Structure 1
Amino acid sequence: MPEPVSQRRIAQTVLKARGIARLAELRAEGVTAATMSRMERNGEVLRLARGLYQLPDVPLDVHHSLAEAAKRLPKGVVCLVSALAFHDLTDQLPKHVWMAIGQKDWAPKADGVSIRLVRFTDRLLADGVESHTVEGVSVKVFDVAKTIADCFRYRNKIGLSVAIEGLKEALRQRRATPDEIAKQAERGAVTTVIRPYLVALTANG
């Protein structure tokens, strides 16, 4: 008879495949919480937050915090300053991961990477979403045009200067067209706010 695969081996296989795994995912593969605790004490895994694990020798991506946040909030979408930084449209280094969630979605307790939540309507949460892979984790991020419109919509939270900087960079790098940004501004009801800046920045072609 073949030797049964140990829980440790299973845990290592799951973490290699997924990058970061929740305890629920590991349990579904037959790994107990006690095994994960022992592996953590032995230095075989890193506990990133409550019920969230990663192998210790994995090279961290520059966007590691986004992968961790996405695992903790599977329905969430990276937004605002964190999305600007992901798209290389700001020099800001966000202290938190800004995540958009639905009006009634569960909010996690503070643990691990710092997350700032913004509640979106279902329509705005589903609009302009891209999927990227970071450290083996699928991370949802709003696209450039949607991010710019959202930054103007939440300018009181992040600062108008950050929103304007993002708009300038998006246009300069040609990451979104004025028309795409205007459409997202209309959907987010910030056309009157964003139009003067859009006109000024595109006046000279």
Structure 2
Amino acid sequence: MEIGAEEEHTALPSPFTYNDARDRGMSDRRLYALRDSGAIESIGWGLFRWADDGQLTDPDLLEIAVRAPEATLCLSSALARHGLTDQIPATIDVAVPRGHTRPKVRAPVSWHLFAPETFAVGRERLALDQRHHIGIYNAERCVVDAFRLRRWEGPELGNEALRRWLRRPGSQPSSLLRMASAFPRAERSLRHALEVLL
């Protein structure tokens, strides 16, 4: 039985998936009529939001967060949010634990598979709206990752991020080295870079 027009908005949170709508009794015809009338808008494959739900700051991040709750901004994308690089990546760098599914999304994403045992190290939450968030690595973890993955990301990303991080008030190289101790592949090169810069 299809839900009534007055109940639709309260029955379906924003954003909601195609399957959410079907599970709550909405027909395809009604769903697409709402979309065509402008009452809802598509923000990803099979992902919708109510048009009167206020300003959506970043539909790409919201789509990623809904499709992959463990998704975490990393590398250039996270460094840019922390003000540690001027690079504007063409795609959004997102990490998921190795062995987890990388969902199909409309957003331009570069998926990175990180080791499950260190995935949570330095992971924080970035609010997208009142109900949704996405993971983001803190500044120290981003610097360490830039050194750890310099073979693929290039050495300049890590060097620039480290120089900017060191200029921040209260930055302690010891805290960066503690973070790096969980990633032996990065520790030696990071220690060497710190010796050069300090």
- Tell whether the structures are fold-level matches, with TM greater than 0.5: yes
Secondary structure, counterpart of 2:191 in structure 1? helix
Decide whether the 8 Å contact of 2:43 with 2:59 is kept in 1: no
Pairs aligned (count): 193
Q: Give the match for residue 13 of structure 2.
A: 14
Q: Give the match for residue 200 of structure 1.
A: 196
Alignment of 1:1-205 (within 5 A): 6-10=6-10, 14-15=13-14, 20-26=15-21, 31=26, 34-56=29-51, 58-61=54-57, 64-109=59-104, 111-136=105-130, 137-174=132-169, 176-189=171-184, 190-201=186-197, 203=198
TM-score normalised over the length of structure 1: 0.81
d(CA) in 2 for partners of 1:33, 1:79: 37
**Displacement of 1:72:** 2.1
d(CA) in 1 for partners of 2:81, 2:129: 14
Following superposition, which runs of at least 4 residues in structure 1 exceed 4 angstroms of deviation? 24-34
**Displacement of 1:125:** 0.8
**Does 177-186 or 48-57 show the bigger shift?**
48-57
The Cα RMSD (Å) is 2.5
Secondary structure, counterpart of 2:13 in structure 1? helix
d(CA) in 2 for partners of 1:105, 1:195: 32
Q: Which runs of 5+ in 2 are unaligned?
A: none
**Does 128-137 or 75-84 show the bigger shift?**
128-137
**Displacement of 1:116:** 0.8
TM-score normalised over the length of structure 2: 0.84
Decide whether the 8 Å contact of 1:97 with 1:115 is kept in 2: yes
Q: What's the % identity of the aligned pairs?
A: 24
> Structure 1 27/185 Cα, relative in aligned 2: closer, same or farther at 3 Å?
farther
